Amino acid sequence: MFFKRPSFYTSLQHCFNRKKKEPSNIKDIYDGKLYKDLVNEGILSSRDNISFLFNTDGVPVFKFSKVSVWPLFLVINELPYEKRMAKEKQQLF
List pLDDT tens digits, range 6-59.
Answer: 888 889 998 888 888 888 888 899 999 999 999 999 999 998 899 999 999 888
Q: How many residues are recorded in the chain?
A: 93
Residues 6+ apart with CB under 8 A from 32: 26
Distance CA(72)–CA(15), nearest Å, equals 24
Please, are residues 81 and 71 in contact by the beta-carbon 8 Å criterion? no
Chain center to CA of 78:
6
User: Number of structural domains, the chain?
Assistant: 1
List pLDDT tens digits, range 50-79.
Answer: 999 999 988 888 888 888 898 888 899 999
- Confidence (pTM): 0.73
